[in-house]
Every structure is written in structure tokens, then in C-alpha cells.
Chains A and B, each alone.
Chain A
Amino acid sequence: MSIFGFFTRTRTAPVARERLQLLLAHERSLSGKSDLAVILREEILAVIAKHITIDREKVKVKLDRDGTISTLEIDIEMPEVVAVKT
């Protein structure tokens, strides 16, 4: 570490602190509700499957969290000819 590096180096510890706080707050809030993503996906798919035939292989679930918002993204590929159930 050079003398200049000592003053200019970005501190990584605050980043670590922030990442941990965010992660632990999330994990504590989820204790007991471990498979929320699985449950949400199953219930949402069940509702859609009532009306449209969907291929379960073509369902993508993505999650992203930051300090203020979390997003759960469920991407369902529709069949080319939408088979609407009656």
C-alpha cells in the first residue's frame, strides 16, 4: 500500500456492512416462510393455468432486492396459438 493509496483507497468495509444488513433483514423476515418464491409461483401459475395452457418449462422466476424495493419477476412464455380454455 503506497502512502497515496492509504488515503485514496475506497473502503470496502461499509459495503460489507450494507450488504449484510440488507441480507439479514430479508432473511429474518422470511424465517418460517422459507419457500415463498415456490408458493407464489405455484399459486400464480395455478390461476393462469385455469385460463391458458402454459408450458411449465418456459416459466422464469427472477428476484432482485435493494435497499427499498424487492421485485419478483415471473416471466411466462405464452404458446404461439393461445389456447384459451373455456
Chain B
Amino acid sequence: MAKVLVVTSGKGGVGKTTSSAALGAALAQAGKNVVVVDFDVGLRNLDLIMGAERRVVFDLVNVVQGDAKLAQALIRDKRVETLSLLPASQTRDKDALTPEGIERVINELREKFDWIVCDSPAGIERGATLAMRHADLAVVVTNPEVSSVRDADRIIGILDSKTAKAEAGEQIEKHLLLTRYDAGRAARGEMLKIEDVLEILAIPLLGIIPDSEDVLRASNVGCPVTLHNPASAPARAYAEAARRLMGEMVDVTLPIEKKTLMGRLFGWKVA
């Protein structure tokens, strides 16, 4: 049965879009039929991160409003056959999305795909609540930093009250994805500890994504990091997280600081 996954955070800039693209690609690389849906109407970016910005014709708003069929708006990834993108509109605002329209589109997507990954906009307004509305499970993205942890707590509360599942008296499955984790700063005690974040938010850990140049390189060229450099630390962490989402029991790898010869001499580090 199809699973609807929302990638959300409350706070902006913590890595929702990067994580949506990487998790979606990792699930597709594992053979699942995946669509990633950009809910950030007016400020779309998932198309750019996935390298499909030149191929957008129709978008989520066109489909919701009946101006285009779903099949016409879906963009098939050129690298992974089982991966598709449903882009957001760049020119409208979030009021163009209606709850009924979104429900219809999600139900239609459920028939075609194994995984529907909804990339939520930041904030707790309409766009964010519509993105999580029909989710079966949620990935809450946070950085080891006070304000993003606080906002994550707020979004967990909203997941437990405003989703269709919550309103039906069911529990929505929630997972924590810790991104931009800097092993060096953690070792020096300059960053919130993983245990502290987990204790505060009290939801299970899906993965720890190290802060890495590979993530920036992948977004520069428009390719999810799990496809661009599968051997890199963040790609491996995302691939492991995807396996956990599929129900496999995989131990969470803790990123450790690796220093190269040049790094030792000049204080550079790689994740």
C-alpha cells in the first residue's frame, strides 16, 4: 500500500528540500516507485535541487485546479526510472491550493506510487498544514541548534493535532532527521548533543546527516546527493534513513570527524 510521507520542520533552511530529494531518490534507487511533491507554492525549489527546472510545464496548482491532468504535470527523473517530481507553482500563492483538491491529487498519486514524499514549506501556515494533511508518516528535520529544535517541537504538536490521521484518533508515525551535524563541533561541545535533541523531542531517530560539502556540490549541479555521490557520508546516511523508512532495522551511523593530511596541517576537515 502506498505511503504518504511529509518532510517538515517549522523552521526554514534546515534541509527539508535537500532531504526530500535525497530520501525520495534513495527510496527510488531501492526499487520503489516514488514521487516527490513540492508544496512550497510561490517559492518552489525542489525542481532546482532535482535538476528538472528546465522541464516544468504544469504544476501542482494546475492539477489541483483541473487545468492539467496529473500525468501531464509529473516529471520523470532522467537518472532513476522510478523517480518522479510533481513541481509547485512559482507564480501563484498558497491560497491556490484547496484541501479538497489536495486530497484528490494525493488519492490519485496513491494509486500510481509506492511512496509519496511531500516537501513541506517552512512555517506552520496553510502550505505546511496542507502538506502534512494526508500523511501516514512524518520526517521532522532539525539541526542541532536551539531555534530549529524549538520549531520542531511545535511542528510535532501540529502533526499530532491537525493531520487527517490525528483527527481520526490515530497516531501519525514521526521520525527525527538530524541534519547539518558537525562531528568536530559536537566533539568540542559546541553543539547540542544528539542525545539531548532526542530527549527533548522524544521521537525516534531516523538518521544523522553530516554537514558536508557533498550536499552543496549536489545541489549546485541539480542532483540528489544519493545519486551524485553515493559513496559520500551524507549519501550513505540518507540511504540508511530510507532503509529504515522501508522498515529495515539498521543501526544509526554516527558521523565521525575525519581529517586528511592537508586538513591536519591547515585545520580543514571533511565530514
Q: Which residues of A contact B (CB under 8 A)?
A: 1-3, 6, 12-13, 15-16, 19, 22-23, 27, 30-31, 34-35, 37-38, 57, 59-66
With A1-B262, A12-B217, A27-B90 as given contacts, are A57 and B53 in contact (CB-CB < 8 Å)?
no
Are A12 and B54 CB-contacts (below 8 A) given A1-B262, A27-B90, A60-B72? no
**Nearest residue in B to A15 (C-beta to C-beta)?**
B221
Closest beta carbon of chain A to B214's beta carbon, Å: 10
B219: chain A residues at CB < 8 Å are: 16
Taking the nearest CB of chain B, how far is it from the CB of A21, in angstroms? Answer: 12
Tell me whether A65 and B62 are in contact in the complex, defined as CB-CB below 8 angstroms, given that A6-B262, A27-B90 are known contacts: no
Cβ of A23 and Cβ of B262 under 8 Å apart?
no
Q: Which of B68, B92, B221 contacts A38 (CB 8 A)?
A: B68
B17 to A: closest C-beta gap in Å: 15
Determine if B255 is an interface residue (Cβ-Cβ < 8 Å): no
Residue of B nearest to A72 (CB): B57
Q: Is the CB of A3 within 8 A of B261?
A: yes
Q: Which residues of A contact B261 (CB under 8 A)?
A: 3
Question: B270 within 8 Å of A by Cβ?
Answer: yes
For chain B, the bracket of interface size reads 20 to 34
Tell me the minimal C-beta distance from A2 to chain B in angstroms.
Answer: 7
Give Cα A52 to B56, complex, Å: 28
Contact B220 A57 (CB under 8 A): no
Distance from B13 Cβ to chain A, minimum over Cβ atoms (Å): 17
B238 CB within 8 Å of chain A: no
Chain A to chain B contacts (Cβ below 8 Å), 24 pairs: A1-B260, A6-B262, A12-B217, A12-B220, A12-B221, A13-B220, A16-B219, A19-B222, A23-B48, A23-B53, A23-B54, A27-B90, A34-B91, A34-B92, A35-B67, A37-B57, A57-B69, A59-B72, A61-B58, A61-B72, A62-B57, A63-B56, A64-B55, A65-B54
| B residues near A31, Cβ cutoff 8 Å | 91
> Taking the nearest CB of chain B, how far is it from the CB of A48, in angstroms?
17
A27–chain B nearest beta-carbon distance, Å: 6
Q: Evaluate contact between A66 and B72: CB separation under 8 angstroms.
A: no
Chain B hits for A3, CB < 8 A: 261-262
CB interface residues, B 39-72, toward A, < 8 Å: 48, 53-58, 62, 67-69, 72
Contact partner, B260, options A2, A37, A60, A63, Cβ 8 Å: A2
Complex Cα gap A35–B53 (Å): 16
Kindly list chain A residues whose C-beta atoms are within 8 Å of the C-beta of B220.
12-13, 15-16, 19
